[in-house]
């Protein structure tokens, strides 16, 4: 027992099993070794250990990492509390008593906080890369669909015509905000906790600035008490995963709807769909449904850890061991979902002509007609009422705007003239948009070019 000097008996085997985190915090092994090497380098630099001892420790740590990566060594969860004790025990086995000097001036409290920050920094960068790849896929699809008409919705009712490219670019914007959140997370782990000790620093002349430099942090943390109990950065990471999964879930919902026979808008590749155990004809969008379903689990991870944190007194408490499972699970779920939805969209086929004729017969250009009246100095509320009455008239006559005549328009307002009928031309509807950020094909193409240049 590494930490049992004041105890007469070993930890109860059931208690060890209950309290061991090794089966999940083994993920931190590489970060633990990275932090330990930097700590050993610092201890040698301030003459707490000799260079020979440092070299022995570093060689031993690198050997452990190699054996782990090549699957030659895997610590038994029934023997160790966590990855830190497993690595140190293995180091004792490899280099003898010199291994005992590695923990000088360090507590598991500042050690684990540092490991987690290193892991989150790496994982945030990986997610950032996956988000960029998904954005590129959406841009590639958008490039060929700036004129592909689809209905835009509010309240899940047809509202105004847009293009498929415009719709997909909305998700490009969302993904960019997701990237910004993970960049914030990376910024929040720029201060190094090592040297904080258990909660009150050390009487040893530790060089915390050197440790920061070796590990790529900008500066040491400013308060040891806060350093070992701070898990805000994990909450930030979990929150970023929650919002990111929410965006993927919204898109997945649309993919599920688009792939139905009623919509007939998207055909998913067979490699990302499944069949039915009973019905031979079925082709189910299971990957999209699973992403939608797994979102709840990621939400749950955030709530679970927020509940753990809400009443912890300063500083470190063993409750904080519960930070790792929700953290690692949210990361793997979100990163896997990003890869799946990217590949699913990249291999999908869109029915570009699905809505071309259908939209010509609905009332989604009613707002354009009201805007035409506004340009004739009709107050918008009056214009809204006039066009609303027109829609009601056509519905009662079982007609649509495709059959509209000038007499139909003039029956409700003499302000209408022949030019007003052009407002009901679906083929030119998008080109008439004048504001930036609209589905005007020229504006959409410009936005696609902007994103492509930004994502190079």
Positions marked active-site: 155, 276
Query: In 3-state terms, the chain is what percent helix, strand and coil (to 5)?
Result: 65, 5, 30
User: Is residue 20 left, alpha or beta, with left meaning phi > 0 and alpha meaning psi from -120 to 50?
Assistant: beta
* Tally of helices (H runs) and strands (E runs) in the chain: 17, 6
Within 10 angstroms of residue 450's Cβ, the number of other Cβ atoms is 13
Look at the block and give the residue holding tokens 């600035």: 209
Within 10 angstroms of residue 351's Cβ, the number of other Cβ atoms is 14
The H or E element that residue 192 is part of is: strand 191-192
Buried b vs exposed e over 90-113: b needs ≥16 C-beta within 10 Å?
Answer: bbbebbeebbebbbebbbbbbbbb
- How far apart CA 393 and CA 384 sit, in angstroms, is 14
Buried b vs exposed e over 270-290: b needs ≥16 C-beta within 10 Å?
Answer: eebbeeeeeeeeeeebebbee
Count CA atoms within 13 Å of residue 134 on its CB side. 32
- How far apart CA 341 and CA 287 sit, in angstroms, is 8
- How far apart CA 254 and CA 264 sit, in angstroms, is 12
Closest CA to 229 of 104, 321, 327: 321
- Give the chain's length: 456
Within 10 angstroms of residue 354's Cβ, the number of other Cβ atoms is 18
∠ at Cα 330 (139, 119), nearest 5°? 95
452 to 143, 172, 175: CA distances (angstroms):
10, 11, 14
- How far apart CA 69 and CA 92 sit, in angstroms, is 19
Closest CA to 165 of 451, 449, 445: 445
Query: Rg of the chain's alpha carbons, rounded to an integer?
Result: 30
Contact (Cβ atoms closer than 8 angstroms) between residue 297 and residue 329:
yes
């Amino acid at each position: 027992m590494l930490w049992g000097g004041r105890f007469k008996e070993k930890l109860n085997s059931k208690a060890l099993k209950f309290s061991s985190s090794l089966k999940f915090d083994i993920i931190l092994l590489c970060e633990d070794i990275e932090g330990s090497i930097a700590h050993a380098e610092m201890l040698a630099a301030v003459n707490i250990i000799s260079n020979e001892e440092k070299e022995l420790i570093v060689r031993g740590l690198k050997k452990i990492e190699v054996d782990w990566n090549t699957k030659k060594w895997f610590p038994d969860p029934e023997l160790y509390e966590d990855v830190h004790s497993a690595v140190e025990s293995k180091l004792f086995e490899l280099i003898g008593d010199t291994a005992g000097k590695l923990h000088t001036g360090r507590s598991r409290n500042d050690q684990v906080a540092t490991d987690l920050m290193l892991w989150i920094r790496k994982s945030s960068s990986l997610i950032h890369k996956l988000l960029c790849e998904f954005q590129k896929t959406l841009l590639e699809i958008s490039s060929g669909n700036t004129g592909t008409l689809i209905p835009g919705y509010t309240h899940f009712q047809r509202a105004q015509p847009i293009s498929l490219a415009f719709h997909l670019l909305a998700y490009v914007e969302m993904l960019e905000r997701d990237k910004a959140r993970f960049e914030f997370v990376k910024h929040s782990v720029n201060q190094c906790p090592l040297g904080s000790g258990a909660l009150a620093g050390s009487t040893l002349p530790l060089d915390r600035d050197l440790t920061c430099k070796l590990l790529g942090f900008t500066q040491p943390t400013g308060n040891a008490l806060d350093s070992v109990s701070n898990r805000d950065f994990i909450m930030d990471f979990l929150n970023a995963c929650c919002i990111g999964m929410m965006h993927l879930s919204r898109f997945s919902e649309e993919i599920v709807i688009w792939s139905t026979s009623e919509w007939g808008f998207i055909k998913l590749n067979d490699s990302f769909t499944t069949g039915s155990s009973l019905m031979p004809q079925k082709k189910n969008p299971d990957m999209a449904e699973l992403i939608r379903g797994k979102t709840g689990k990621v939400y749950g991870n955030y709530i679970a850890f927020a509940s753990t944190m809400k009443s912890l007194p300063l500083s470190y408490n063993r409750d904080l061991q519960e930070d790792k499972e929700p953290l690692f699970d949210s990361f793997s779920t979100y990163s896997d979902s990003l890869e799946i939805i990217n590949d699913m969209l990249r291999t999908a086929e869109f029915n570009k002509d699905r809505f071309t004729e259908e939209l010509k017969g609905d009332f989604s250009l009613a707002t354009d007609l009201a805007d035409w009246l506004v340009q004739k100095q009709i107050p918008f509320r009056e214009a809204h009422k006039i066009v609303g009455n027109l829609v009601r008239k056509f519905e009662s006559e079982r007609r649509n705007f495709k059959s509209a005549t000038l007499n139909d328009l003039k029956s409700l307002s003499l302000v209408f003239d022949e030019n007003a009928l052009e407002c009901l031309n679906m083929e030119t509807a998008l080109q008439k948009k004048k504001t930036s950020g609209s589905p005007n094909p020229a504006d959409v193409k410009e936005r696609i070019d902007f994103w492509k240049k930004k994502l190079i």
